[in-house]
């Protein structure tokens, strides 16, 4: 029950927060922009402001409920934080996002940071490519239609 997640995070259980959390949990695409979320909630008849979506997402991020990524293209994307760290590979044609973890890469990063005299705190690895999905080229949604 997601209302418990909110309470655990010390956040009051309100309609907008519930709806946003719900959407993040059930949406088929797991990486959404604030605008994506805003539009989908409007479409499903909710009355919500874009500013609230941003505020709530920022609070969720601070609470560790979601993580924010900066893929190319201006808008930040948000995803539910499910505890397991991972990196991303993004299709520059259709926008598809896959997640992966590679222990070798993780390990090498530690070695590199250490060699350069840094205490590693975080990292961001994004691979950009073209997916070989036949439906990819020309698939809608690639450029987040205005």
Partner DNA sequence: ATGTATGCAAAACATTTGCACCTGG
Partner DNA sequence: CCAGGTGCAAATGTTTTGCATACAT
Site of interaction with DNA (CB under 7 A): 7, 11-17, 33-35, 47-52, 54-56, 58, 74-76, 146
Question: Considering the rule CB under 8 A, would residue 112 count as an interface residue with its own copies?
Answer: yes
What letter would DSSP give residue 49?
Answer: -
Q: Order of strands across the sheet with 66-69?
A: 32-33, 77-80, 66-69
**Pairing state of beta strands 66-69 and 32-33?**
unpaired
Stretch that binds its own copies, among 24-32, 35-43, 77-85, 130-138 (CB under 8 A): 130-138
- Can residue 132 be called a binding residue for its own copies (CB under 8 A)? yes
Q: 115 is written with which tokens?
A: 């060699």
- Contacts with its own copies in 76-95 (CB under 8 A)? 89, 91-92
In this structure, are residues 129 and 119 in contact, taking their beta carbons and an 8 Å threshold? no
CB atoms inside a 10 Å sphere around CB 56: 23
d(C-alpha 23, C-alpha 16), whole Å? 10
Smallest distance, Å, CB 140 to DNA? 17
Return the half-sphere exposure (C-beta side, CA atoms, 13 A cut-off) of residue 50. Answer: 5
92 binds, among DNA, its own copies, none (CB under 5 to 8 A by kind): its own copies
- Rounded to a whole number of angstroms, the minimum distance from the CB of residue 34 to DNA is 5
Which CB, 12 or 132, lies closer to its own copies? 132
Q: With binding defined as CB under 8 A, does residue 135 bind its own copies? A: no
Beta carbon nearer to DNA, 14 or 133: 14
């Amino acid at each position: 029950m997601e209302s418990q997640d909110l309470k655990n995070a010390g956040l009051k259980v309100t309609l907008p927060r519930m709806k946003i959390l719900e959407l993040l949990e059930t949406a088929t695409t797991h990486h959404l922009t604030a605008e994506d979320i805003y539009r989908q909630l409007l479409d499903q008849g909710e009355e919500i402001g874009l500013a609230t979506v941003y505020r709530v997402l920022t609070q969720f991020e601070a609470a560790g409920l979601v993580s924010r990524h900066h893929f190319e293209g201006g808008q930040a994307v948000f995803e539910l934080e499910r505890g397991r760290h991972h990196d991303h590979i993004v299709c520059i044609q259709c926008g598809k996002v896959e997640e992966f973890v590679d222990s070798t890469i993780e390990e090498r990063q530690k070695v590199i940071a250490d060699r350069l005299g840094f205490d590693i705190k975080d990292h961001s690895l994004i691979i950009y490519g073209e997916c070989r999905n036949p439906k990819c080229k020309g698939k809608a949604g690639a450029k987040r239609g205005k």
